[in-house]
Chain A
């Protein structure tokens, strides 16, 4: 006798599945295993992983590191009231999120690897690199050190994408990625939006 979802099944209902159910179960299970395999595989072969160096840090201590970073590599200029810093390739880069500003403005070189540290002075913020690129959560009390290689030159923005208070929507920072030394003569400041790779899927 057939049961519906509202009838109590009588007797033993632990019965063999239909063939169609077995086929679908197998396909779905194999697909889940592929989903599972892709993540470790990307750690081995892929270029984008959110692992980083993770440590706790007191917000005041982090602020001191940012200030030292600005003192070490600052260009002496400022943009939009924010100091501009041009660290050498391989440097430890300290970016501070605080209501409602990203400090400092970064000048990086295309193809060079940096360790980009992210932390917050107050509440949660979101690191959203524009044109469409990577996103990370910025949590106060935690230092998230990501080994970053800017693969394309361009004039990037950092948009805050975690609600951080009523001024959240004006929290925009800047990263300038200069073309690698090989093509250093080219125009270093393409207009925002030209490097867009988003809108794909």
Chain B
């Protein structure tokens, strides 16, 4: 990846702080290694807990099975949300931050002891939250809207966890400073690190919101102060949605990483990609306002300014990445000789490499399903026909699960050999895992969204409304949708279980990678990018690529993004049409 050996790096290596990676030639700081491992393991444990909760919640919403009791359903739904959206994702992102700073920049980690302190705080905080949830002291769901009341340790646990996470972002910034000062690299930081930097900055903003809301709420839970329910919703979403933007920034950084590792994807233009990341930093926090579009506390100009002017600049950023990532893959493939026709590069791409298939599935499902539905539902008036229906979880399962979690899973198949120095156990299983997971999630989110267009509420135990004062009967199509949703969900959970089996087995029981980085020694046990290193096959000069008329040098990508734009336009205006048939409201 980098051949920059410098004084600082060499000194550190001489002191025995680094090991040299025989596969990539990277020098890896041992503390970075260990911190990445610890955070990745904690993330996987949270994924396992959240996954078990997912099965129980899913089998309850499948109305024909209706597994749990009402109390059990809301409890396990809380457990599912906290473990997936907070613990799994943020532990994994901590590992990404160590990787994007220390590993990619050949640097030592700033203050590894504080790194361990941060990890301990995060584990303790998570355990406090888990205890309150599992003992029924926090049946308040992920959002814990005041004045629903949980045990004080629930709020305190989140605060302790967040303090740990904010320490890791500080270590990330400090590591960048150290790498710069010790000249462990020349030029500018790589794009993936820049994306990690974006994620870290958004994380700092997000965790600031977290402190601003959880500290007063903790005091409120001790009856020491009041918290206004509308102010809670406003500030809480500064945490709740912004944390999903950490995911987006980290996910896009991983898209660029997986592109480089699997097919030698190039950065078509550093300026465009980096500017797009900066747009996230400037505009994404205000986009949290789209959770409050049908709230009583805010006027139309506040809603429009925050969700259109600001949010659409972040949407623009995602659309830019949605172009530059596949364009980089296409150019990388073409530069390596796959120049046939418009889509030859795509046909001959390494579809059995789980890193590559994860990348493609993550980009496609995130963009086509998650992105389009998200922007549409986040429109001030269209939100009237989407708010708190199943359309909303349908949307965010296709962003945060099929998008972010899928990308995280894909990169794990490279982290196992490159960081853990292990072969990937059950490699044939790993090869099909992305298809199982993303395919299941796609069926799940589409049918969930569709059930939402019949008005089915989210976070609801029983849509037969047994025991209610008035009967409600949904169209029979709803039962079909919920059954298909359950099947899709079970397929996805199978994919998740395959991931956990492969990663846990590889890390704890797997065969060591060995010191021979050749294809003969590694084929069939690790993703091919590990031994083929496609980014090293790129030509060093800048050969001219063939122009395809108006489609330019990346004709395949140009066609793909045009299909995306057409789908976007159709779905968006179909929703205005749907809205126009509703009651008149003003």
Contact = CB atoms under 8 A, between A and B. Distances in A.
Contacts of B312: 32-33, 35-36
A48 B585 contact: yes
Contact of B335 (A2, A173, A197, A198): A2
Interface stretch (A16-24, A65-73, A85-93, A180-188): A16-24
B584 A48 contact: yes
Interface stretch (B119-127, B472-480, B487-495, B502-510): B472-480
Interface string B307-351: 111001101100110011001100110010000000000000000
Nearest to B466: A170
Contacts of B260: 4-7
Interface string A15-42: 1011111011101110111011011101
A24 B308 contact: no
B134 interface: no
B135 to A, nearest CB: 16
A27 B455 contact: no
Given A24-B561, A139-B296, A139-B297, A18 B268 contact: yes
B90 to A, nearest CB: 22
Given A15-B271, A126-B387, A42 B470 contact: no
B267 interface: yes
Contacts of A1: 540-542
A5 B465 contact: no
Interface stretch (B165-173, B203-211, B565-573): B565-573
A198 B391 CA distance: 12
B470 A48 contact: no
A159 B584 contact: no
A129 B582 CA distance: 10
Interface string A110-138: 00010000110011101011111111111
Contacts of A79: 469-470
A47 B580 contact: yes
Contact of A135 (B389, B454, B574): B389
Given A8-B187, A201-B571, A18 B460 contact: no
Contacts of A48: 381, 384, 579-580, 582-586
B184 to A, nearest CB: 10
Contacts of B332: 4
A62 to B, nearest CB: 12
B106 to A, nearest CB: 10
Interface in A150-201: 150-152, 157, 159-174, 192-193, 196-201
A179 B271 CA distance: 61
A20 B551 contact: yes
Interface stretch (B42-50, B140-148, B400-408): B140-148
Contact of B308 (A5, A13, A36): A36
Given A39-B380, A48-B585, A4 B315 contact: no
Interface residues of B, number: 134
A142 to B, nearest CB: 4
B454 A132 contact: yes
B192 to A, nearest CB: 4
A133 B582 contact: yes
A31 B586 contact: no
A133 to B, nearest CB: 5
B576 interface: yes
A11 B145 CA distance: 50
A129 B111 CA distance: 55
Contacts of A135: 294, 383-389
Given A80-B470, A140-B147, A24 B558 contact: yes
Interface string B205-225: 000000000000000000000
A49 interface: yes
Interface of A: 1-11, 13-15, 17-21, 23-25, 27-29, 31-33, 35-36, 38-40, 42-43, 46-52, 54, 79-82, 101, 113, 118-119, 122-124, 126, 128-144, 146-152, 157, 159-174, 192-193, 196-201
30 contacts: A3-B266, A3-B270, A4-B190, A4-B260, A5-B256, A8-B187, A19-B552, A20-B552, A28-B319, A31-B565, A42-B380, A46-B579, A54-B299, A80-B470, A133-B455, A136-B384, A137-B294, A149-B583, A151-B584, A161-B388, A161-B460, A166-B71, A167-B70, A169-B461, A169-B465, A170-B462, A172-B469, A197-B578, A201-B577, A201-B578
**Which 8 A-B pairs give the minimum distances between C-beta atoms?**
A5-B256, A80-B469, A144-B296, A161-B457, A4-B260, A13-B270, A20-B552, A149-B584
Given A3-B267, A54-B297, A133-B385, 20 more contacts: A3-B270, A4-B190, A9-B270, A11-B187, A48-B580, A48-B583, A48-B584, A52-B296, A128-B455, A136-B384, A139-B296, A140-B229, A144-B296, A169-B465, A170-B466, A170-B467, A171-B468, A172-B465, A174-B469, A201-B574
Interface of B: 1-2, 4, 70-71, 74, 104-105, 139, 141, 145, 147-148, 185-192, 195, 228-230, 233, 253, 256-257, 259-261, 264-272, 274, 292-300, 303-304, 307-309, 312-313, 315-316, 319-320, 323-324, 327-328, 331-332, 335, 375, 379-381, 383-389, 450, 453-455, 457-463, 465-475, 477, 535, 538-542, 551-554, 557-558, 561, 565, 568-569, 571-572, 574-586
